[in-house]
Amino acid sequence: MAPLKFCANISWLFTELPDFSRRMSAAAQAGFQAVEAAWLYDTEPPELRRAARAAGVEVVLINTPPGDVEAGDLGLGAVPGRESEFRQGLEMAVKYANSLDCKRIHLMAGRVPVGADRTAVAKEMEAVFVQNLSYAADVLSKEGIIGLIEPINTRITDPRYFLDSPHQAAGILEKVGKPNIKLQMDIFHWQIMDGNLTQNIHKYFPMIGHIQIAQVPGRNEPDSAGELNYSYLFNTLENLNYQGYIGCEYKPQGSTQQGLGWIKDYWTHKPGHLNH
């Protein structure tokens, strides 16, 4: 069984350092061969590309632009009336991804509009999302990029996020029916919304294109106190022969470096891994 591959989410880890370039370098020094990030759009693509090359890390995932964050946007994929902005954001994400040789883009669904009832707008939002994802699939297939959709929990993290469960995401992916649009499983969100992780991982494994991890409920290191037994979950993914990356998208309790004992432990006990 091949060991699992981890990437550092530099929007969450190494935030002791102010810019993404230095975080890439810190991730490499800590033993990571790959990084992911939510939004890199404050930095120009050539600068990011230089930094990734200098650090020797692969950039494996970025998100589509959130839209107008101050106005309450968090992605536009399922938001009615914002289709042209979604397409512009996708174009920008593709430009960054191509510059960074990044092969995965998280296509953010967005939030239920303020004042709207979730159940009342669910059908329309789903139809918009399916249409936008079908459009994205065609754009991304020309670039050899995988598009991902990620359920985000509405109990703790984001009460108005449209896409909140693995089941809802699977239904949408079936309607889109494109091989290059896949499911991003953030175990933190799945546990909060549905639990039943072993069954859900097995059931949806064929759709999964990327994984992210954090402990529940504090969203800290995987080995911090909490509900999840990550050695069991890692074992489950190894047994399924998961070949993709696992993004470390958690809030370190202290410094990032101090909290990396769990991964150093994994690397030490899994001969054949590519890391230091």
Q: Are 193 and 200 in contact (CB under 8 A)?
A: no
* Interstrand relation of 104-106 and 58-63 (parallel, antiparallel or unpaired): parallel
Residue 270, beta-bridge partner list: none
Round to whole Å and give the CA distance between 155 and 84: 30
- At 9, list the tokens: 């989410």
Q: Is 126 a catalytic residue?
A: no
Angle (CA) 136-123-62 rounded to 5° is 30
- The residues, any chain, with a CB within 8 Å of residue 225's CB and separated by 6 or more, are 215, 218
- Residue entry with tokens 């499983």: 185
Catalytic residue among 150, 174, 227, 238: 150
Q: Are 111 and 73 in contact (CB under 8 A)?
A: yes
Q: Are 122 and 130 in contact (CB under 8 A)?
A: no
Phi, psi of 60 (to 5 degrees): -105, -15
Q: Is 238 a catalytic residue?
A: no
User: Over the range 31-40, which residues count as b (16 or more CB within 10 Å of their CB) and which as e?
Assistant: bbbbbbbbbb
Task: Tell me which residues are annotated as active site.
Answer: 150, 249
